[in-house]
Amino acid sequence: MSVPITGDGTPGNPLDVAAATTVSRGTMSAAQVTKLDGIASGATNTPLSSTLPAAIGSAAIGVGTTAARDDHVHALPAVGTAGTYAYPSSITTDAQGRATAVVAGSAPAALSSTLPTAVGTAAIGVGTTAARDDHAHFHGNQAGGTLHATAVAGVSAGFISAVDQAKLDAIPTPTGGTVNLAASDYDVTGSFADIGLNVALPEAGTYRITIDLWTVINAGGPSTGDQIVYLRLYDNTAGTAVANSDRSLGCIDAGGLSASFSSSVTFRVTVASARTIKAQAFIDGSEDAHIKSGGAGFQYTQLNWEKVSN
């Protein structure tokens, strides 16, 4: 006898062995071999589950004896019945966020129709209405001045200090201007009189007033004494000369015949309120004197003013 032994019970091929079954031995078919080859070593015949998977919850090894199907789905944890959780303070939940207790008879809270309180000291509150989701709290006038750090120059933003605020308050709002002498020639008499330069100071504060002008003294011959032209400021609102504002513009001596000269005079004037300031001049002598402005050979006479402090 040699292998393989063949035969199927037909005439000329008499050997025949019945196929194996679950209760008797026999030959194995090619299909059965293929089926066995597809089973992993050590595999067991665990049946597939026919029950619903447990809902998502706390982690556990489990005690089940069936295998989960590959397309199974776990249910979300129960969260209660819709409409019973509008009043959050009446709900207790477990670690998975599931409702475990609801106060009997609880009802949704009404939305507030009053303004929220200003920001302040932390408090639980005693209100019985719910805040609207777009409400806003007023910052309010917070006491103490310590809610924010003081600003540091070039380093960090913050509250302004009292010292820095005082500095800012002392800086005036920029204001000033220029007044030109309207006519080209004003006579200078033997007593102080207006020369046509006036300025309306708008408010209380300290001002810098600068007057640039051209003065001419015409002498018909040798003078009997020195001829001096003076300038001062006059407070027209108060009806008096501005204290310590007298200035000498120029002079010719007793032997001179005539003279012309330009001058720039600066005054620092402090006023308690808005007022009008005028420029006045006079000649201490008997000669003919003039304040010139523009025209052939003469510069323009003008007054410049600027507020320098409050």
pLDDT on residue 280:
93
Q: What is the model's pLDDT at position 269? A: 95
Residue 272's pLDDT band (cuts 50, 70, 90) = very high
**pLDDT the model gives residue 232:** 94
Across 115-124, 176-185, 206-215, 235-244, the highest mean pLDDT is recorded for 235-244
Q: What integer is the mean pLDDT of 156-185?
A: 82
Q: How confident is the model at residue 276 (pLDDT cuts 50, 70, 90)?
A: very high
Predicted pLDDT of residue 278: 94
Rounded mean pLDDT of the chain? Answer: 78
pLDDT cut 90: percent of the chain above it = 16
Lowest mean pLDDT segment, chosen from 112-116, 159-163, 229-233: 159-163
Give the tokens for residue 79: 């969260």
pTM of this prediction?
0.47
Q: Which residue has the tokens 């309207």?
A: 182
CB 275 within 8 A of CB 187: no
pLDDT at 177 over 70: yes
Please choose, from the candidates 214, 206, 210, the residue with its C-alpha nearest in 3D space to the C-alpha of residue 179: 210
DSSP string for the chain: --SSP---SBTTB----PBP-SSS--B--HHHHHHHHTSPTT---PPBP-SPPPPS-S-------SBPPTT--PPPPP---TTS-SSGGGEEE-TTS-EEEE-TT--PPPBP-SPPPPS-S-------SBPPTT--------SSS-SSPBPBTTTB--BPPHHHHHHHHHSPPP-EEEEE-SSSEEEE-SS-EEEEEEEEE-SSEEEEEEEEEEEEEE-SSS-SS-EEEEEEEEETTTTEEPTT--EEEEEE-TT--EEEEEEEEEEEEEESS-EEEEEEEEEESSSEEEEE-SSTT-PPPEEEEEEEE-
pLDDT-derived band at 95, boundaries 50, 70, 90 = low
pLDDT for the residue 56: 76
pLDDT higher than threshold 50 for residue 83? no
What gap in Å lies between CA 199 and CA 277, rounded to an integer? 5
- For residue 49, pLDDT over 50 is answered with yes
Per-residue model confidence (pLDDT) at position 107:
64
Higher per-residue pLDDT: 250 or 134: 134
CA gap 128, 207 in Å, rounded: 62
Does residue 292 register a pLDDT over 70?
yes
Tens-digit pLDDT profile for residues 112-153: 899 988 887 788 888 888 888 899 888 777 666 666 788 888
Cα(240)–Cα(275) distance, integer angstroms: 12
Domains along the chain with CATH numbers: 176-309 (2.60.120.760)
Question: Degrees (nearest 5) of the Cα angle 266, 251, 255?
Answer: 170
pLDDT tier for residue 241 given thresholds of 50, 70 and 90: very high
In this predicted structure, the answer to whether residue 77 has a pLDDT above a threshold of 70 is no
pLDDT digits (tens, 9 = 90+) for 202-216: 999 999 999 988 887
